Structure 1
Amino acid sequence: MAEPTPSSRGTDLGDLLRRLRRRADLSQRELAARAGVPQPAVARIESGRAPDPRYRTVERLVRAAGGRMRVDVEPSAAEQPTAPEQPTAPEQPTAPEQPTAPVPHDDMRDRAGRRYPAHLDVWEVHEPRDWPGAWWAEWYSLPARLYPLPLPPATYRLNRDYRDERREREAVRQSVTVRRVTGPTVPATAWRFVAELRDGELIGELRAHEESPHLRWGDGERAEEREAVLDGVLVLARYRRLGIGRRLVQTLLEALGPVRVRALTEQPGISFLHACGFGIEASRPAAMRFEASVSGARPRRW
């Protein structure tokens, strides 16, 4: 793919170089090593402190980042024909060049006014859990005045494996679809929803069934009521904490309409269902579980 070059069109060379570096996943040092150019030269070009770099230097940097240089020469006034000698067919529209994606955090600066690395993912820090450097936040809930270190405006991770996993998870969050499964394998009084990726990989599933309260309680006056029981919600471990489980539950609730839904769960399912809008119903009897003893002691009931 041809990349625009610095010309009268006003292309910002520093911005273009940062975009190329992000697309190629290269730091300034890595790009400089590939191009055989000193790293300070790359920093000066990207920051605008080298307004007129040598063409050969720019070409080496662009090529090392996977781009391609192109020079367009406009014809002079004497070379331009005044009138066509013969009718010509109308020009066919050409597809515009695909521009390089901008660096999403290019307008962010650290406390010293410097840009963050273009090839890494940067996010704002609002509280300690947003900052990997706040190791103390995992064990202590401190007010802001007692933070042992000041929080930076933004942060990033140098570990590329973590970065790639983060990008993959974000791509999954945006591309996953939820659909209902019907057919002879699913009874008419049951629901099954699955979460899938674009290639059809199944990464989540929800199952529920309908239950008539009057059959359970023997109350004929409640025969018109309908109730659904949530049998379970499963999401692959690597794709959890992306909101996929909540999307499955929300899709079920939208399909059921006014039908009541209940579920029986333990931690951490309680926290999950609470995040989905479920509440604890005190009128329900508490669930009891009986476990046989392995050591020969008396069984415990609770």
Structure 2
Amino acid sequence: MTEATEHTDESSGVDLGSALRALRRRADLSQRQLAERSGVPQPTLARIESGRAGNPRLRTVERLVRAAGGQLTIGIPAPTSGTATLTLTPVPHDDMRDQGGRRYPAHLDVWPVHEPRDWPGAWWAEWYRLPPERYPLPLPPAAYELNRRYRDNRRWAAEAQRTAQVRRVIGSDLPATCWRYVAELPDGALVGELRAHERSPFLEFGEWHPGLPEREMVLDGVLVDARYRRLGLARRLVTALLTDMREAGIVDAVAIAEGFGTELLLACGFEIEARRPFALRLQETGKRGS
């Protein structure tokens, strides 16, 4: 897939350095890698991207753009807008600088470091267990990952989080007391589901007494495709249920969970209630010898 851009002078408002950095990010190329592909010296590329090259030769720019998978187009601006359109997505961290005042590599994913958990090197060394005055090294302003597979997975996860939609399923084939929610991708692929049902506490206690709600929600289960776990989809499903049930006047909800399910519900505002029974299990263990 190619990207179209236009190289114009400063009055056009197009930033050639930003465009090249965005192209490199899309192609996942470092400055050195793009220089090798294009045959343009890396120092020349660095000067163009930083805006210090003055007026680079058109042939040099074309070689860089093509090597990064783009296409350089020179033409008359569209009559409707009157300006050239840059279709590339800007580098998210282009405004960040390292301790030397330099930009971070455009093709990497860079995130600010606010605490040791944000820095992989400190995380695996368990710095977060230490008070700040005992950190072996000062925290850097930002961190990034060089492993390409990790970067690809990180970007894939971010795209899945951004595009996945959670909605309630309402249809004539569902009982009136059934609440069903799904998490879907733009292509309609189902990656998560939540099911719950309303019930009357009268059925449990056999009689009404002051303080007993008329309706309560029972969470039957939350399922998320294994590949899409740890992206916050389960929490979004539970949050959607809680929001809609409160709008419907239902303020109580109950659930039985274990392991990560317990952590999920606690994070969504549930509390462990000792008076509620634990789940019971019947498991076939085989016939015993006589």
TM over 0.5: yes
- Secondary structure at 1:63 match in 2: helix
Partner Cα distance (2:118, 2:173) in 1: 45
Name the Cα RMSD after superposition.
Answer: 2.9
Worse-matched range after superposition: 155-164 or 1-10: 1-10
Matched, 1:192 2:171: no
Matched, 1:154 2:142: yes
Is the 1:129–1:137 Cα contact (8 Å) retained in structure 2? no
**CA gap 1:31/1:219 in 2 versus in 1, 3 angstroms:** same
TM-score by length of 1: 0.81
Matched, 1:56 2:45: no
1:36 pairs with 36, 39, 43, which one? 39
Is the 2:116–2:128 Cα contact (8 Å) retained in structure 1? no
What's the CA shift string for 1:231-287, capped at 9, x where partnerless?
A: 111112222222211221122122222321101111222111011111122333455
Worse-matched range after superposition: 180-189 or 199-208: 180-189
Is the 2:117–2:128 Cα contact (8 Å) retained in structure 1? no
Q: Which residue of 2 aligns with 1:243?
A: 232
Is the 2:197–2:219 Cα contact (8 Å) retained in structure 1? yes
The structure that has the greater radius of gyration is 1
Q: Which residue of 2 aligns with 1:93?
A: 80
**CA gap 1:8/1:180 in 2 versus in 1, 3 angstroms:** closer
Q: Which residue of 2 aligns with 1:107?
A: 95
TM-score by length of 2: 0.84
Q: Which residue of 2 aligns with 1:256?
A: 245
Matched, 1:15 2:18: yes
1:57-96 aligned at under 5 Å gives the runs: 57-65=60-68, 66-70=70-74, 93=80
**CA gap 1:288/1:63 in 2 versus in 1, 3 angstroms:** closer
Worse-matched range after superposition: 227-236 or 47-56: 47-56
Matched, 1:203 2:191: yes
Is the 1:111–1:153 Cα contact (8 Å) retained in structure 2? yes
1:230 positional shift: 0.5
What's the CA shift string for 1:205-240, capped at 9, x where partnerless?
A: 001112222222222447862122101111122222
| AA in 2 matched with 1:178 | V
Identity of aligned residues (%): 60
Partner Cα distance (1:231, 1:165) in 2: 31
- Secondary structure at 1:194 match in 2: strand
Q: Which residue of 2 aligns with 1:128?
A: 116
| AA in 1 matched with 2:218 | V
Is the 1:196–1:203 Cα contact (8 Å) retained in structure 2? yes
Q: Which ranges in structure 2 are unaligned for 5 or more consecutive residues?
A: none
**CA gap 1:111/1:224 in 2 versus in 1, 3 angstroms:** closer
Is the 2:122–2:128 Cα contact (8 Å) retained in structure 1? no
1:270-285 aligned at under 5 Å gives the runs: 270-285=262-277
Q: Which ranges in structure 1 are unaligned for 5 or more consecutive residues?
A: 73-90, 297-302
Is the 2:112–2:141 Cα contact (8 Å) retained in structure 1? yes
- Secondary structure at 1:204 match in 2: strand
May I ask how many residue pairs the two structures share in their alignment? 279
**CA gap 1:34/1:275 in 2 versus in 1, 3 angstroms:** same
Is the 1:63–1:69 Cα contact (8 Å) retained in structure 2? no
**CA gap 1:176/1:289 in 2 versus in 1, 3 angstroms:** same
Worse-matched range after superposition: 227-236 or 140-149: 140-149
Partner Cα distance (2:181, 2:75) in 1: 55
Is the 1:2–1:69 Cα contact (8 Å) retained in structure 2? yes
Partner Cα distance (2:239, 2:198) in 1: 17
Structure ranking higher on relative contact order (CA contacts 8 Å, 6+ apart): 2
